[in-house]
Chain A
Amino acid sequence: MLKESLISEFQKIVGKDNVLTSPEALKAYSYDGTTSWVHEPDVVIFPTSTDEVSRIMKLANAEKIPVTPRGGGTNVSGGSVPWHGGVVLVMTKFNQILKVDKENLTATVEPGVVLQDLTLRLAKEGLFFPPDPQSFLGATMGGIISENAGGPAGVKYGVTKQYVLGVEVVLPSGEVIHLGGRTLKNVVGYDLLHIFISSEGTLGVITKAELKLNPLPQARKTLCVVYDDVSIAGEGVFRVLENGVIPCKIEMVDNWVINRIEEMMPIGLPKDADACLFFEVDGIPEVVEKEAQKIAEITKQYGAKEARIAPNMDEANKYWLARRAGFAAVFGKAKQVFAEDVTVPRGNIPKFVKKIRELAKKYDVEIVVLGHAGDGNLHPAVLTDPANKDHYERALKAVDEIIESAAVEFGGVLSGEHGIGLEKQKFMRKVTEPAVINMMKGIKALIDPNNIMNPGKIWE
């Protein structure tokens, strides 16, 4: 519990309506997009300006009260859960798109702007922000930057860090700083901007961002490529790339997921296929046509059973709807799902999916694959039920081994786009060199000596 006097100080800063302390509100801000990480804050505050954030931080710092910034709360790592209580700083009302600059292909946004709102606004100007975390309907820009989010488009366009030119940050002391700038090139001293990107809210509060944009591609084309063997599908991914086509998305669904999707919304995916790859190419219409045909040729040459080029947008949309439904299909089928975020170098995808299959057999648990194959970010998901102790134990062991094999055996990382938060801490400690963790701690201590910014996360 916080002192009454402190609550009224917060109220003076943001107004009474923007400070919540009811048990219901505290419960509603105790979770994020994960299943099992829950902790209530002591107070929920909605700032709407940099100045308000700065004044809140000064107060919190003086009182050494934890502050956890939060946007749409769509993250899947426990990152925005206020693990040590204190303040949840909700940025959803701090949400203006300040500027769209067509000449420089940039946009200036406040942290609470929802990605989909930005996308719709930019589309009017013929522009887009390429990183596409699949939480785009709820995820806010502050969170997207703090988590360095990515999505299917990563294969061609990369992830958030490649599209942030500068940020305004309120430090735990309340001081306001500006990192990066508005230019494409910028080598003025240490690249501190990129320490804040993916810092998961542990260093400061992002209050403004300058984003790099691309012109919206004129055309898109989608393919559904069918495989008898998931490993051959994995190979298809890099064969297409090495033969000179860079699709904007390459997504994989395995047999289990295909069948769940077909149960939920029959769209005619081949139920007997071991896996399907969904490709999307985008760009100039003539090029897109050619690229789609080329993908069909290459994948068939390398063992695909069938390559369907979607004849129109309706069919294309069906495939992407199915792909998006895949995640829900998985979650709907088990009491608990460990949705892993491991990422391997693309060349190792075939070996890695084979390994996943072996582990499923070894531990006798369902492990399904639906992920961004194009960048090696496969999202294997282990299905289990905490009530079935024996099964749960086996599932945990399978998770351990998936992460270990991905990160060690196949030269990958334990998280590609979700971040560490609370969910991946124990693995982070396992696979990260102690000196690296110490360096992170040192940076944290320098910027946040009182450890008030989103404490309890990442390496703890």
Chain B
Amino acid sequence: MKDLKELKKIEEFSNQCMKCGFCSFFCPVYQEEKMETSVARGKNYLVKQVLAGKQEFTHEMADIIGKCLLCKRCAANCPAKTQIDRVVVAARAQLVKEKGLGAIKNFAFRKVMADRKAFGKYARLMQKFQWMMPTTEGKIKHLPDFVKGLGKRNFPSLAKTFLRDQIKPVYKPQNGEKPKMRVGFFMGCATDFVYPELGLKLIDFLTRHGVEVVVPEDQNCCGAAIYFSGDLETGRMLADLNIKAYKDLNVDYIVTACATCSSTLKDYQKYLPDTEEQKERYTEFEKKIKDSTEFVIDILKIPPEEFKLRKEFEGKTVTWHDPCHLVRYQNIKDQPRVILKALKGIKYVEMPNADMCCGMGGSFSVYHYDLTKKIAGKKMDGIKATGADIVVTACPGCMINLIDNVLLNKMPQKVHHFLELVE
């Protein structure tokens, strides 16, 4: 009998599916492909077949469980409350166990992303050579014509100076008074390498509101791309490193400006534990984690009148895009809207499909870029319908994909993190 340890862990979730097929309506991938293997019900059925010893992890099976954005729209709308995200992650983990990670992922996850110093080194190397990439506009670049086969993909430049190279270990409240709270800042890779200004803005905002911010140097990648790809082992290693990094800092909370990071840190307890001890430790860690949107509203309880709009955004119409990792992974829906509606000088318009995945799905967009573009296309329709000038969100991952697709669709909208709008 084969060792199906990872799948056994989620067998009870898998059995919850009653095959009603409602997930098909909510699945962005199914909506494009219209095939049973795209949707949660089909994937779950095949996983059950693996559990029953009637299905192997073939190439096609690997493709099928790979082709999921983990946007959780199916799970959020499942009448039987099947946690299909856990089934998919466990299936990927089982696959990694049986077949290994593959050379590319093995290198990227274990040799680069799992090692903060190495990751920085490789990012710096890329940063040095990015002048070779043609500029789309401003800080956005795209692949040169001779590799157009890979698609004309637009992406933001890597920052001149990474956040890690300009950040201090401690920031005291700006009013000079005794801090009302002490929080750890978790930067995350995209903020570190692409959007360092977001990190600095968050710290500025927090310290102006009487919070002391500490930034441990030995923090690492949150591990999202890694554990959602099924590499639970490296995921656990990163979880342990990150927990350790904040352990003795005596912080009340750990705050990040990245929706994916906050949800990933919170969910160590859900996807990673192998032992009861880990489960307990990860659950303990979860309690400290707050997304920036959630932190300013629920914890700092900043009243609406204290949110001030930055001048350059005056008179603009803005709309909000719900990152999957906020709205469904963390149930954070109202907080960002409260902030945007509090900002005097802009007009807030709700997007018709605000909670629809942008199509990024981390490494999904690397392997299925055509699907990503189609799914993002629907997001773009929603954005167009609002007539907004600015799309606001709170996830650097979404930002990167939204910027790419706004440009591909020749739309005038700009994409910003909410922290960029507030003074």
Question: Hey, which bits of chain A sit against chain B, CB under 8 A?
Answer: 20, 22-25, 27-29, 31-35, 46, 72-74, 90, 92-93, 95, 112, 114, 116, 135, 137-138, 264, 324-325, 327-328, 331-332
Are A328 and B79 in touch, CB under 8 angstroms? yes
CB-nearest residue of chain B to A75: B21
Are B20 and A28 in touch, CB under 8 angstroms? no
Listed by A's residue number, 15 A-B pairs whose Cβ atoms lie within 8 Å are: A23-B60, A24-B55, A25-B35, A28-B36, A31-B19, A33-B18, A33-B21, A46-B34, A90-B36, A112-B34, A135-B21, A135-B22, A138-B21, A332-B80, A332-B81
Nearest-Cβ distance from residue A115 to partner chain B, whole angstroms: 10
A23–B61 Cα distance when bound, in Å, is: 9
Which one, B19, B26, B46, B55, contacts A32 given CB within 8 A?
B19
Let me know if B166 is at the binding interface, CB within 8 A.
no
Are A34 and B21 in touch, CB under 8 angstroms? no
Which one, A23, A25, A72, contacts B21 given CB within 8 A?
A72
A25–B45 Cα distance when bound, in Å, is: 11
Contacts of B45 in A (CB 8 A): 27-28, 31
Nearest-Cβ distance from residue A333 to partner chain B, whole angstroms: 11
Nearest-Cβ distance from residue B175 to partner chain A, whole angstroms: 42
Which one, A33, A112, A138, A264, contacts B25 given CB within 8 A?
A138
Let me know if B331 is at the binding interface, CB within 8 A.
no
Are A24 and B34 in touch, CB under 8 angstroms? no
B 11-29 contacts with A by CB, 8 A: 16, 18-26
Contacts of A331 in B (CB 8 A): 18, 80
Contacts of B60 in A (CB 8 A): 22-25
Nearest-Cβ distance from residue A337 to partner chain B, whole angstroms: 8
A-contact bits for B87-100, CB 8 A (1 contact / 0 none): 00000000000000
Are B21 and A28 in touch, CB under 8 angstroms? no
Contacts A24-B37, A31-B45, A93-B34; A114 near B19 (Cβ below 8 A): no
Are B81 and A137 in touch, CB under 8 angstroms? no
CB-nearest residue of chain A to B25: A137
Contacts of A116 in B (CB 8 A): 25
A15–B24 Cα distance when bound, in Å, is: 24
Are A138 and B19 in touch, CB under 8 angstroms? no
Let me know if B42 is at the binding interface, CB within 8 A.
yes
Nearest-Cβ distance from residue A272 to partner chain B, whole angstroms: 25
CB-nearest residue of chain B to A134: B20
Nearest-Cβ distance from residue A15 to partner chain B, whole angstroms: 14
Question: Hey, which bits of chain B sit against chain A, CB under 8 A?
Answer: 16, 18-26, 34-37, 42, 45-46, 49, 54-55, 58, 60-61, 64, 78-81
Main SS class of interface, A: loop
Are A74 and B20 in touch, CB under 8 angstroms? yes
Are B42 and A28 in touch, CB under 8 angstroms? yes
Which of B23, B26, B45, B78 has its CB near the most chain A CB atoms (within 10 A)? B45
Are B25 and A25 in touch, CB under 8 angstroms? no
Are B19 and A72 in touch, CB under 8 angstroms? no
Contacts of B80 in A (CB 8 A): 328, 331-332
Are B21 and A74 in touch, CB under 8 angstroms? yes
Are A33 and B46 in touch, CB under 8 angstroms? no
Nearest-Cβ distance from residue A256 to partner chain B, whole angstroms: 17
A137–B60 Cα distance when bound, in Å, is: 27
What are the 6 closest A-B residue pairs judged by CB atoms, nearest first?
A328-B79, A138-B21, A137-B25, A92-B34, A28-B36, A331-B18
Are A264 and B81 in touch, CB under 8 angstroms? yes
Are B79 and A27 in touch, CB under 8 angstroms? no
Contacts A24-B61, A27-B55, A95-B34; A327 near B21 (Cβ below 8 A): no
Contacts A24-B55, A27-B55; A325 near B79 (Cβ below 8 A): yes
Nearest-Cβ distance from residue B22 to partner chain A, whole angstroms: 4
Nearest-Cβ distance from residue B173 to partner chain A, whole angstroms: 41
Are B24 and A72 in touch, CB under 8 angstroms? yes
A32–B18 Cα distance when bound, in Å, is: 10
A138–B24 Cα distance when bound, in Å, is: 6
Which one, A29, A33, A92, A114, contacts B20 given CB within 8 A?
A33
Contacts of B23 in A (CB 8 A): 138
Contacts of A32 in B (CB 8 A): 19
Contacts A24-B46, A325-B79; A138 near B58 (Cβ below 8 A): no
CB-nearest residue of chain B to A29: B36
Which one, A24, A93, A95, A327, contacts B64 given CB within 8 A?
A24
Contacts of A25 in B (CB 8 A): 35-37, 60
A31–B48 Cα distance when bound, in Å, is: 13
Which one, A27, A28, A31, A138, contacts B22 given CB within 8 A?
A138
Apart from the given pairs A92-B34, A92-B35, A112-B34, 14 other A-B contacts in the complex at a CB distance below 8 Å: A24-B64, A25-B35, A31-B45, A33-B19, A34-B19, A35-B18, A137-B22, A138-B21, A138-B23, A138-B24, A327-B20, A327-B79, A331-B18, A332-B81
Contacts of B81 in A (CB 8 A): 264, 328, 332
Are B16 and A332 in touch, CB under 8 angstroms? yes
A50–B182 Cα distance when bound, in Å, is: 67
Which one, A90, A95, A114, A324, contacts B79 given CB within 8 A?
A324
CB-nearest residue of chain A to B61: A24
A135–B24 Cα distance when bound, in Å, is: 11
Contacts of B36 in A (CB 8 A): 25, 28-29, 73, 90
Are A28 and B37 in touch, CB under 8 angstroms? yes
Contacts of A24 in B (CB 8 A): 37, 46, 55, 58, 60-61, 64
Contacts of B16 in A (CB 8 A): 332
CB-nearest residue of chain A to B22: A137
A137–B49 Cα distance when bound, in Å, is: 25
Nearest-Cβ distance from residue A25 to partner chain B, whole angstroms: 6
Contacts A24-B61, A325-B79, A328-B81; A135 near B46 (Cβ below 8 A): no
Nearest-Cβ distance from residue A196 to partner chain B, whole angstroms: 24
A135–B22 Cα distance when bound, in Å, is: 7
Contacts of A325 in B (CB 8 A): 79
A90–B35 Cα distance when bound, in Å, is: 9
A364–B46 Cα distance when bound, in Å, is: 35
Contacts of B64 in A (CB 8 A): 24
Contacts of A72 in B (CB 8 A): 21, 24
Contacts of B58 in A (CB 8 A): 23-24
A324–B46 Cα distance when bound, in Å, is: 26
CB-nearest residue of chain A to B24: A138
Contacts of A137 in B (CB 8 A): 21-22, 24-26
A138–B30 Cα distance when bound, in Å, is: 11
A74–B80 Cα distance when bound, in Å, is: 15
